[in-house]
Amino acid sequence: MEENIKILLCEDDENLGMLLREYLQTKGFATTLCPDGEAGFKEFTKNKYDIAVLDVMMPKKDGFTLAQEIRQQTADLPIVFLTAKTLKEDILEGFKIGADDYITKPFSMEELVFRVEAILRRVRGKKSKESTMYHIGKFTFDTQKQLLTINGEQTKLTTKENELLALLCAHANEILQRDFALKTIWIDDNYFNARSMDVYITKLRKHLKEDPQIEIINIHGKGYKLIVPDAE
């Protein structure tokens, strides 16, 4: 990478952790390795990171708990889970917490780097764009600050929530095609990403419930439609 990207890597398998750290470092990422979730959280509070790569099954504090604690502090840090589990429930649990991606072991280190770079490109691409404001019913939505405001009350959106709501706003009162949204935000339109998007649609509905004029409706077999009284 052209700049010194800092990765927080939490992996309790010592051999795998050291291999991953070395490989990421050879690719130009400044990588800090922590052996468990407790050490990972301490490291997160001490230093600023660009992305976190967390093993799910760890001693002292598992990856899901660590991710929840990170999300309580910031909605901005991208999180990738590493897991030996392929259970749908576990994968959906990760996305509910606010994961940006999920990699099942065994995986190639090249794949991990590809996914990390893809997430960072997306995040930096959002930050480099000019501030875009949408007025949706009684809400003001600032995509740059990831803020949804109504009657002076502000809600800070996660990166995924922000990207999905921005897409819906750009297609207000029109059908947002499901596969287009998946490929734009999640890169891949596979089953798990599709279920993840459903989770985020549910979260957005909760955020928008203060204005009864606004709703996100399912268009069967096609996608979603954001219904707003006056789209701007």
Q: Where are the domains of the chain?
A: 6-127, 130-227
Contact by Cβ (8 Å): 114, 107: no
**Residue 87, number of CB atoms within 10 A of its CB:** 9
State the pLDDT confidence band at 37, using cuts at 50, 70 and 90: very high
Task: Say if residue 125's pLDDT is above 70.
Answer: no
Contact by Cβ (8 Å): 20, 112: yes
Domains 6-127 and 130-227 share a fold: no
Cα radius of gyration rounded to whole Å, the chain: 18
Q: Indicate the SS3 state at residue 98.
A: coil
Measure Cα distances from 152 to 17, 142, 147, 215 in Å. 45, 13, 11, 21
| Per-residue confidence (pLDDT) for residue 119, from 0 to 100 | 84
Among 160, 170, 145, 232, which Cα is nearest to 203's?
160
| Per-residue confidence (pLDDT) for residue 123, from 0 to 100 | 72
Structure tokens belonging to residue 184: 């734009």
State the pLDDT confidence band at 126, using cuts at 50, 70 and 90: low
State the pLDDT confidence band at 7, using cuts at 50, 70 and 90: very high
Q: Which residues contact 205 (CB under 8 A, 6 or more apart)?
A: 215, 216
**Residue 99, number of CB atoms within 10 A of its CB:** 25
CA 124 to chain centre: 13
Look at 9 and 111; give whichever has higher pLDDT: 9
Which overall architecture, per CATH, does domain 130-227 show? Orthogonal Bundle (1.10)
The pLDDT tens digits of the residues spanning 104-119 come to 888 888 888 988 988 8
Contact by Cβ (8 Å): 103, 111: yes
| Per-residue confidence (pLDDT) for residue 75, from 0 to 100 | 78
Structure tokens belonging to residue 218: 């399912």
The pLDDT tens digits of the residues spanning 182-225 come to 888 887 778 888 888 999 999 999 999 999 999 999 998 899 99
Strand-pairing partners, residue 215, are 227
Among 206, 198, 177, 230, which Cα is nearest to 88's?
198
Task: Say if residue 65's pLDDT is above 70.
Answer: yes
Which homologous superfamily is 6-127 in?
Answer: Response regulator (3.40.50.2300)
Structure tokens belonging to residue 173: 């009162």
Burial group, residue 73, by CB count within 10 angstroms (0-12, 13-18, 19+): exposed
Report the pLDDT averaged over residues 55-69: 91
Task: Say if residue 90's pLDDT is above 90.
Answer: no
Query: At CA 193, angle to CA 100 and CA 9, rounded to 5?
Result: 30
